A = this chain, B = another copy of it.
Amino acid sequence: MSASKIDKLQTAVDEALTADRQRLAKYLSIETVSAQKKGIPETVAFVQQAFEELGAKVQVWRDIPGSNPFIFATLPAGPTGNASKTLLFYNHYDVQPPEPLAEWHTEPFKLTEVDGKYVARGVSDDKGELMARLSAVKALQNAGGLPCNLKFILEGEEEIGSVHIPQMTQKHATDLAADVVVWETGGKDADENFNITCGVKGIMSFELTVQTAAVDLHSSFAAYADNAAWRLTKALASLRGPADRILVDGFYDDIRELTGPELAAIADLNFNEAQTRETFGITGPLVTDDPKMALANATTMTINGLTSGYEGAGVKTVLPKFAKAKLDCRLVPDQRPEKLARLIQAQLARNGFSDVHVNYLLGENPFRSDLTDPFVQTSITTAHEVYGDRVKLVPNTPGTGPQAPFDEALHAPIVAFGANWSGSGAHAPNESVRIADYAQDVFYTARLLQKFGVGVSK
């Protein structure tokens, strides 16, 4: 594409951003808090209309019992586009609750500009991102037409665990069929590098519970009576060795060896230890010598919470009948949560803790795209064009999202990027994106679609 064509796209993006400013504000004004079951029908109607105004065909799927509706929209390639290539966007229309309200400096559900930033609940996660993608669509339409077929799938339960995604992707695999998937969330990291992220860790959330008596005992009876809190403590300690190794037979067996490109990408990442310590107030040693590797490929076992007996002030001489730990494990390819839960229960029995029960809460499989996939490479080269040298290829996030069910249904690479900055505070008060990043993201999205669809060169 000639310089004038790039200029033409840039102009179309600028015009779309100006035209779409009010739509962004309107979308952010709807309080779509899935955790509080708020605003779902209004939001679905709003999003449906926004797609229809772009000429999309829209379906609202209400066929998964108990689920908030899914919104599915399709737009065909334009006359000069490549009708044989299809890209699927995944986004969600629900947002986190705005609480704690006292910590907001502006109205949470009113788009406000502060110091070059858009501030509102959802402007980063994930309403702003959908609106940016729609602005990219409009810009492309005005700059010569869509370069490929587009599909959008939106869920309304991302902030409450995406529990209906696997059912939906199985049921609608044919509808969703696409060559590539663009995921939600991304942007620039603390070093201002634009990240292209290609996967997620999986998760297995569970509880360990132990009951030693029908009632709490007076602690003087510790002379003969067992103690649920001690049983739990010792059982937990038996699962974790020096250097935080998880001492569960078979736990690491299914971890796929990292490829050369994955190792290279991990080596190329940054980890700013000083800034991380400052952000979280960490004073002790880290649990790893190689945080970059651990963030990408370490299986973790985290105690999320401990509960037993008397937790108040002062002294209560009680011997607790019951103790509970809540835990999660973060998993990497090709670990599977159900299998790990069985391994943990078996290890507890081998360690002498058959009275400590694993209560499986939820699991999501890990997923990582092939980093040598052409679409991953196109995402990178396009990012270099738009963001210059400050681009990082991230094999996967340390966190979890429902990518694996899409992979299982579509067998397509998944890439995530967005308009965030390191201070976006996705789930926090004063959630924000920088306006310049937002505009850059719209341009990047449009340009990536061109390169994916019709392979235009500079």
Contacts and interface: CB of A to CB of B under 8 A. Distances in A.
Contact of A328 (B226, B317, B399): B317
A306 B308 contact: yes
Interface in A272-311: 276, 280-282, 284-288, 291, 294-295, 298, 300-311
Interface in A294-335: 294-295, 298, 300-311, 314-321, 323-326, 328, 330
A397 interface: yes
A286 B318 contact: no
- Among A201, A236, A288, the most chain B Cβ lie within 10 Å of the Cβ of A236
A200 to B, nearest CB: 9
A34 B215 CA distance: 25
A303 B227 contact: yes
Interface in A412-448: none
Nearest to A286: B224
A236 B287 CA distance: 19
A443 to B, nearest CB: 30
A172 B328 CA distance: 58
Interface string A215-237: 10111111111110110111011
- Among A314, A319, A326, A397, the most chain B Cβ lie within 10 Å of the Cβ of A326
Contact of A233 (B303, B321, B399): B303
Contact of A306 (B213, B298, B323): B323
A362 interface: yes
A326 B316 contact: yes
A307 B311 CA distance: 6
A102 interface: no
Interface residues of A, number: 76
A42 to B, nearest CB: 27
B233 A237 contact: yes
A309 B315 contact: no
A212 B284 contact: yes
A208 to B, nearest CB: 11
A237 B325 CA distance: 15
A214 interface: yes
A221 B295 CA distance: 7
A179 interface: no
A400 interface: yes
A236 B218 CA distance: 20
Nearest to A210: B284
A147 interface: no
A46 B236 CA distance: 55
B295 A223 contact: yes
B304 A320 contact: yes
B220 A399 contact: yes
Contact of A295 (B219, B224, B295): B224
A275 to B, nearest CB: 13
A300 B236 CA distance: 21
A69 interface: no
Contacts of A229: 303-306, 325
Contacts of A288: 223-224
Contacts of A13: none
Contact of A311 (B301, B326, B362): B326
B221 A398 contact: yes
25 contacts: A203-B317, A205-B315, A213-B280, A213-B281, A214-B282, A219-B328, A220-B397, A220-B398, A221-B280, A222-B287, A224-B276, A224-B295, A225-B282, A226-B287, A227-B302, A229-B304, A233-B306, A302-B319, A304-B315, A305-B310, A306-B308, A307-B307, A311-B326, A317-B399, A317-B400
Interface of A: 161, 201, 203, 205, 212-215, 217-227, 229-230, 232-234, 236-238, 240, 244, 271, 276, 280-282, 284-288, 291, 294-295, 298, 300-311, 314-321, 323-326, 328, 330, 355, 361-362, 397-400
Given A222-B300, A223-B287, A233-B303, 20 more contacts: A201-B220, A205-B315, A214-B280, A214-B281, A214-B282, A215-B280, A218-B399, A219-B330, A223-B291, A224-B288, A226-B285, A226-B287, A230-B303, A233-B237, A281-B321, A302-B317, A304-B317, A306-B308, A306-B309, A315-B326
Give 6 nearest A-B pairs by CB, closest first. Answer: A214-B281, A237-B237, A229-B303, A305-B309, A220-B398, A223-B294
